[in-house]
Chains A and B, each alone.
Chain A
């Protein structure tokens, strides 16, 4: 998605290296996706669902 839009950034974060972030975002399982600190997506979801949930963050 980051590749498809200049307005989107995407970070992959190694949970084990950043316990402070894990605590802050309450990561209890992976993959866990946090969008604009507002929307959370748990686990791996199909592309269409993922895109629509990401876009919810700016709705």
Chain B
């Protein structure tokens, strides 16, 4: 028996809605998971949550890399810390999750998978036009808590 199942505490929308949404995924999504062997208490539970998300659709696959051993991949995805998840479609999207993805962060992760799977950012035409004009790097960091 799983004593602590974050999936059951996902909140907004609830597990059933998340399941239904993931089951309707249209195109393949890869969760690129970065871990390390020592000094990361949250890496194993994070990987378990990633696997739970991936189990919801045959179109979701998981790749795992080690922050210390797979330096080329960590550099390619610009991963400075673990646990980390990069959400990729046909190519990398620049969407990252750091830390244990539970609660709101799990909901956000599922929403990111759905967005990448749909290929549609969901933004207004006005926003898309503004963003299309961007030619310099923009790094957005959003701090969240599980509840």
Name A residues whose Cβ lies closer than 8 Å to a Cβ of B.
1-18, 21-22, 25, 27, 30-37, 47-48, 51-52, 54-55, 57-58
Q: Which of A12, A31, A37 has the most CB of B within 10 A?
A: A12
- How many interface contacts (CB-CB < 8 Å) are there between A and B? 150
Q: Chain B contact residues: over half helix, strand or loop, or mixed?
A: mixed
The reply to whether B131 and A11 contact each other, CB–CB distance below 8 Å, is no
The reply to whether A12 and B130 contact each other, CB–CB distance below 8 Å, is no
Name B residues whose Cβ lies closer than 8 Å to a Cβ of A.
42, 78, 81, 93-102, 105, 108-109, 112, 115-116, 119-121, 123-124, 126-128, 130-132, 134-146
Nearest CB of chain B from residue A20's CB, rounded to whole Å:
9
The reply to whether A8 and B138 contact each other, CB–CB distance below 8 Å, is yes
